[in-house]
Structure 1
Amino acid sequence: MDGEGVRQALLVAPSYDHAEYLGAESLGIRSVAATLLDEGARVTVVDECPAEPPAEVLRMAGQSSLIGIGALFTRQIPDALALARTFRSVSPDAHITIGGQGSYSLWPRMLEECEALNSACLNEAEETVSELWRHVIAGESPASVRGMYLRLGGELLFTGPRAPTEDLDALPLPFRGGREIAYADSHVTLCTSRGCAAHCSFCQSGNYANRHPGAPRWRYRSAEHVVDEIEHLQQAYGARMFSIVDDDFLGGDGRGIQRAQDFARLVRTRGLDIRFAIECRISELEAALLTTLRDVGLRHVLIGVEAANDADLRLYAKRTTPQQAAEAIALLRKSDIEYSVGFIMFQPLSDLGGIRTNLDFLLANNVGSYRRVVNRLEVYPGSPLIGYFRRKQVHFREESYRMYYDFQDPRVALLYEAFVKLLKPFEELESTAARAIFRLRAEEGPAELHALRRLTEVTENITRALLATAYRCLQVAESGGVPADDKRIVAYAAGRVDELRNVLSP
């Protein structure tokens, strides 16, 4: 650090793997940043920081008393640890801590593997980091700060659990500094609730990372608090399009429905002209509520279908049925709301029969995308699914905090390879159409609505062509062939892609 009494904090999120995830601002560390600002700290936030940070970030690290690294995804951990080591080289006296949903259950391991780290924050970190900050700038041991694993005297100390914040309205709004250029397209993300009432076995957030004894499984900000933030973001940044990134905007019970209705009423009363997207469970969708929300700007809903065959639905603990999923999709179409579906086509024990059932569902409802159709179950270190699969003789290889596995059925392995190879060109078409729809949604005048209808039809044709290609691959795999090498499928896919690309061209 440059001298005594420096009161600066640096919060960093490692870069995302864009082959798997879309990049976004790091709302978790930005919420922590807001609490530090309330403590009087000077705070800098860096989203998507590369493992070899630029000189300006290193300069800020050298001036910081506290450096926090947030890993939303487990696969970010190797880069997060690399950043910790680099920051330690330029800031030998700073307290460096790590946290985030992706680090769940891995806290001691990260500290053991990376001596540059002083601590790891468990679960939600706003109150923990605020208290940690006070100890750091006072030069005191943070051993009394609950909610951490701490390196102390050569040993690792668990400081005890910290209850999550139940009154989310009491937290300051996330710090948005440095995002002005990113907000130039009027699109902003925000979080209005935490947790999920579901028990999906594959999910870090709902199944185990957001479980706190004695606390509600779903905690939420009031409708008024959320609309206040939207109004602020409109005034400060000109934001009109909002992606609400809650795991479940509707919460799983009557509280969430009432809050959504209150939200719509406030948006209407204040005359806010916005467009927004949400995520929720298929069992929560109601026609009247969708109509109410669409009237005040709801334009997209992400629903988690995940599978259509019984074996996978039981494995994922979805507690929903394909019929419910089909009804939810039909309801969204009838409500004139765009949607996307979460889907996990492959898992270690997949068989061709289960994949056929999955594809039959997608074809019947004309839903799916490249990323969904090739999606294979990701099993996280610490996940309860690991024990189940090991009992089924699935062998995992761990590398850089990622769990790798082979499919037990070699025909499924061949089918997966074919999907990745032959369906990949459709992703470019999907992205082109999605970007165009995003631009048109910003205005929604008569000309834009006409163009939207045309693009929606093109998007549906892209989905049909992708699924038809996938089905051809499945048929070849079922007959014992190698679908990736089937010249008829290769020619069919290439022809459809060229045809649809021409339709999308200006």
Structure 2
Amino acid sequence: MKILLLEHPRVFIPERCNDIANTPLSSSLLTGYAAGMLQSQGHQVEITEGYLDNLSYAVIKQQVSDLKPDLLGVHMVYHWRTDVDLFSFLEEIKREKLCPYIAAYGFYPTFNFAEILRECSAIDAVITGEPEATFSELADALSGRAGRSNIPGLARSDGTGNISHTPRELVEDLDSLPFPVRTEAMYRLPEVNLQGSRGCYGQCTFCYINPFYGHGSRWRGRSPENIAAEIDMIMAERGVKDFYFTDPNFFGPGRQGQSRALHLASLLRERNIRFGIEARVDDIHDETIAALVEAGLRHILIGLESGKDDSLKRLNKMTTVARNEQAVKILRKHGIEPNIGFIMFEPCSSLEDIRANFEFLRRNDLLNNLPVTANVLYHHQIILKGTPAFKMLQGEGRLELPPGATYEGSTTFVNPRVAVLADIMRQITNFLFRRMSGIWSGKEQEPRDAELKYEQINEMLVDLFEANLRALENGKLFTDEEKHLVVQEAKKNIDHMLEV
């Protein structure tokens, strides 16, 4: 049968420009893996890159009309609001009979399938969790190869408001999956995305990686040989040398995880590639990092999250401040300056917590790079459905949901002074990210003496954070007008510093 998989257009929302956790990076390969599985079953599969190719819905509609697919799969990505444009487009596709069956998949629909099925009648089903086997069985059912009832991993409405859903078991052997299909748009990215593992052995309160895969989820890794074979295929076909592992946790747990990483490093070293990874700090071991750097490791994201042990316990990181600092030292010893995940403002933060976070960042020289500084001095905890934090706050009666929505919640800061600083920094850093977006994307010319100006802005942000934190610690109560003046003065200074 003919199947079209759609990466739908996404709209930039200025006030959320620095909120990065709407979907994990690993979701970038969901469509490719689904396409690989469907092609292996003999189906004709095409992928439309509505987002990366910046396509309009009019162009996408024409592609659907030309192909006349039997099944339209939509990788639905949450981008900070109900996607009325996407729902309207799908309703139009159904109304004009351009495709008889539409299924959504991805992290957002996995946790919010009931609301999505209620809001968009054009969507016949939602594929939850890992999509490969469910897509394959759904395609078999639609093509008449098998019955349609009771497909695990498929959520459907009976038309009267009742929704049926049976979770699917995990894919036990990731090596058994066909390699993902990659589009030309994906090959235009600076690095080719790879997935070497799924899941995580951590249980952080803000993360929904494991809940996405389902009950009993755990870290599962592909064999180093299978990963190397995929890299060989890509290098042979495309001649590329730069890769990025989208795994939320590159390393498996414990000694076995370190041994696997060392074995993979030995295989990658022979291929003379460059790559990046993401990892927990407790997996940063000197011997393993040395081997990975020799094999081509050039950059890494580690989730530090906090500079205070009490906060790390609240976030259920199962790490310590000392371990955070040790990981940074090991990486720098081997020439890697880490990119970091950090939650400056969590719902229960006190001013003492914020001070500890700030001093931790300053003590470990993590406030010297403008994009990093702007991120860590602002970032608050995002509360999405599926995370333990969402469930906990909901159970405590502290979760706030906007009318008619159930996917992203919010909560007030326990400490009102923390709320003041969080609001000030959010406004200023969002302005900076909007102001710098054209420059950082290469679409606009850098100002004269760019590095010096970036250093000045970086210093201004650090000094501003410190000054307002100290004022709050000393008991100052900011009026709305005083907050507004602080933000406006900072915006004016940023504009002045960035004059060409």
In 1, Cα distance between equivalents of 2:193 and 2:214:
24
- Residue 230 of structure 1 aligns with an amino acid whose one-letter code is I
Range moving further from structure 2, 106-115 or 162-171: 106-115
Answer yes or no: is the 8 Å Cα contact 2:191–2:244 preserved in 1. Answer: yes
- Residue 418 of structure 1: CA displacement? 1.4
Give the number of aligned pairs. 471
Alignment of 1:19-168 (within 5 A): 19=17, 20-21=19-20, 26-49=28-51, 53-62=56-65, 63-73=68-78, 75=80, 78=83, 81-91=87-97, 94-138=100-144, 141-152=147-158, 154=160, 156=162, 158=164, 160-168=166-174
In 1, Cα distance between equivalents of 2:399 and 2:390:
10
Q: Is the alpha carbon distance of 1:132 and 1:303 closer, same or farther for their aligned partners in structure 2, counting shifts above 3 Å?
A: same
In 1, Cα distance between equivalents of 2:421 and 2:148:
53
C-alpha offsets along residues 395-441 of structure 1, whole Å, 9 cap, x if unaligned? 503254332333343322221221123344654798799779xxxxx
- Residue 94 of structure 1: CA displacement? 1.8
C-alpha offsets along residues 69-125 of structure 1, whole Å, 9 cap, x if unaligned? 123547476355444324323336521111212223322332223211111112111
Alignment of 1:262-281 (within 5 A): 262-269=263-270, 272-281=271-280
Q: Is the alpha carbon distance of 1:391 and 1:276 closer, same or farther for their aligned partners in structure 2, counting shifts above 3 Å?
A: same
- Residue 317 of structure 2 aligns with an amino acid whose one-letter code is K
Equivalent residue, structure 2, for 1:9: 3
Alignment of 1:253-292 (within 5 A): 253-269=254-270, 272-292=271-291
- Residue 363 of structure 1 aligns with an amino acid whose one-letter code is R
Equivalent residue, structure 1, for 2:416: 410
In 2, Cα distance between equivalents of 1:196 and 1:171:
19
In 2, Cα distance between equivalents of 1:191 and 1:347:
30
TM-score (norm 1): 0.82
Answer yes or no: is the 8 Å Cα contact 2:110–2:127 preserved in 1. Answer: no
Q: Is the alpha carbon distance of 1:424 and 1:415 closer, same or farther for their aligned partners in structure 2, counting shifts above 3 Å?
A: same
C-alpha offsets along residues 328-366 of structure 1, whole Å, 9 cap, x if unaligned? 111111110121111111223333222111111111112
Alignment of 1:108-257 (within 5 A): 108-138=114-144, 141-152=147-158, 154=160, 156=162, 158=164, 160-179=166-185, 182-184=186-188, 186-206=190-210, 208-213=211-216, 217-257=218-258
C-alpha offsets along residues 309-334 of structure 1, whole Å, 9 cap, x if unaligned? 34432221111111111111111111
Answer yes or no: is the 8 Å Cα contact 2:113–2:155 preserved in 1. Answer: yes
Q: Is the alpha carbon distance of 1:59 and 1:433 closer, same or farther for their aligned partners in structure 2, counting shifts above 3 Å?
A: closer
In 2, Cα distance between equivalents of 1:392 and 1:358:
26
Q: Is the alpha carbon distance of 1:390 and 1:153 closer, same or farther for their aligned partners in structure 2, counting shifts above 3 Å?
A: closer
Helix, strand or coil: the match of 2:215? coil
Equivalent residue, structure 2, for 1:373: 377
- Residue 99 of structure 1 aligns with an amino acid whose one-letter code is Y
Helix, strand or coil: the match of 1:26? helix
Equivalent residue, structure 1, for 2:332: 333
C-alpha offsets along residues 216-262 of structure 1, whole Å, 9 cap, x if unaligned? x1111111111222222223233222121101000222332222112
TM-score (norm 2): 0.83
Which of 452, 456, 461 aligns to 1:466? It is 461
In 2, Cα distance between equivalents of 1:309 and 1:202:
17
Answer yes or no: is the 8 Å Cα contact 1:15–1:76 preserved in 2. Answer: no
- Residue 70 of structure 1 aligns with an amino acid whose one-letter code is H
Helix, strand or coil: the match of 2:111? coil
Answer yes or no: is the 8 Å Cα contact 1:395–1:405 preserved in 2. Answer: yes
Helix, strand or coil: the match of 1:375? coil
Answer yes or no: is the 8 Å Cα contact 1:396–1:405 preserved in 2. Answer: yes
Q: Is the alpha carbon distance of 1:155 and 1:466 closer, same or farther for their aligned partners in structure 2, counting shifts above 3 Å?
A: closer
Answer yes or no: is the 8 Å Cα contact 2:193–2:243 preserved in 1. Answer: yes
In 2, Cα distance between equivalents of 1:98 and 1:308:
39
Counting aligned pairs with the same residue, the percent is 26
C-alpha offsets along residues 161-194 of structure 1, whole Å, 9 cap, x if unaligned? 3211111111111111342xx5346521111110
Answer yes or no: is the 8 Å Cα contact 1:32–1:129 preserved in 2. Answer: yes
Q: Is the alpha carbon distance of 1:493 and 1:327 closer, same or farther for their aligned partners in structure 2, counting shifts above 3 Å?
A: farther
In 2, Cα distance between equivalents of 1:191 and 1:92:
34
C-alpha offsets along residues 429-472 of structure 1, whole Å, 9 cap, x if unaligned? 98799779xxxxxxxxxxxxxxxxxx999988865553333212
- Residue 277 of structure 1: CA displacement? 0.7
Range moving further from structure 2, 120-129 or 11-20: 11-20
CA RMSD of aligned residues (A): 3.4
Q: Is the alpha carbon distance of 1:205 and 1:16 closer, same or farther for their aligned partners in structure 2, counting shifts above 3 Å?
A: farther
Q: Is the alpha carbon distance of 1:175 and 1:185 closer, same or farther for their aligned partners in structure 2, counting shifts above 3 Å?
A: closer
Answer yes or no: is the 8 Å Cα contact 2:203–2:316 preserved in 1. Answer: yes
- Residue 379 of structure 2 aligns with an amino acid whose one-letter code is N
Q: Gaps (5+ residues) in structure 2? A: 367-371, 443-449
Answer yes or no: is the 8 Å Cα contact 1:362–1:467 preserved in 2. Answer: no
Q: Is the alpha carbon distance of 1:201 and 1:373 closer, same or farther for their aligned partners in structure 2, counting shifts above 3 Å?
A: same
- Residue 204 of structure 1: CA displacement? 0.7
Answer yes or no: is the 8 Å Cα contact 1:473–1:484 preserved in 2. Answer: no
Answer yes or no: is the 8 Å Cα contact 1:14–1:76 preserved in 2. Answer: no
Q: Is the alpha carbon distance of 1:462 and 1:334 closer, same or farther for their aligned partners in structure 2, counting shifts above 3 Å?
A: farther
- Residue 480 of structure 1 aligns with an amino acid whose one-letter code is L
In 2, Cα distance between equivalents of 1:155 and 1:490:
49
